Structure formats: C-alpha cells, structure tokens
Amino acid sequence: MFILWNNSEELASDEAELGPEEFAEKLHSQQKLHEQQLEMLKYMRKFHLDDQSAIFERLHHQMEDANFDVEASIFPSEQIQEIVRRSVSPLFRPRMMNPEPTGLGLPASDAI
C-alpha cells in the first residue's frame, strides 16, 4: 500500500514540477519504455533458462554501468541473440520454443 501512495505522490510532484505537456510526455515515455521491457521479456522466454540468466546478468552489468538509468534496461533482440550465442558451450544448444530465425546459425530443424 505504501508503494502505491509513494508512487501517487511522486506522480503529483512530477506533474506540478513539469506542467501538463511535459508531464504527459514523461508518462508517454515511461509507457513506451515499459512496453519495450515487456516485449524484451517475452522474447527472452523463448530461450533456455541458462541463457535467460546470462541475459539478466549482462543487463544488470549494463544498468550498473549506466548508474541504473532506466534507458539501460532494454536490450534489442540482436543483442540478446549475441549474448546467447556467446554463452553457448560446445555441448549445449539453446532451447528455442519458436524456431524462428535467431541469428544463431541453426536451421529450424535443429532447434530443440
């Protein structure tokens, strides 16, 4: 309950400081960022849990390096594929639930 109250207070403070137009812009930017984060998480679910852990570890480092700027909380799909490609051991291939092209160089028939 405290988190909701705190969030409401923060929003009211932002609205008072920014004015209506800038506040609406900020809300729109936050909504777009949340949508991008959701899409990234949906995409990540296609990979094996070990690969997801590697992605989250890399994301954590990226956010630390950016002093936890929210813009650093997104990886494009190409970067996720590169992380997975680099984290794959010779004895292990990532499990893809949807064998769409992944940039991993595996034919769809080889996807597990």
pTM of the model: 0.63
Domains contained in the chain, number: 1
Per-residue pLDDT, 99: 44
Output Rg (C-alpha) for the chain, integer angstroms: 19
Name the residue range of residue 63's domain.
Answer: 2-110
What pLDDT does residue 71 have? 86
3-state helix, strand, coil in the chain (%, to 5): 70, 0, 30
64-83, pLDDT tens digit by residue? 999 998 889 999 999 999 99
Q: What is the pLDDT of residues 33-72, one digit of tens each?
A: 999 999 999 999 999 999 999 999 999 999 999 999 888 9
* pLDDT-above-90 percentage for the chain: 44
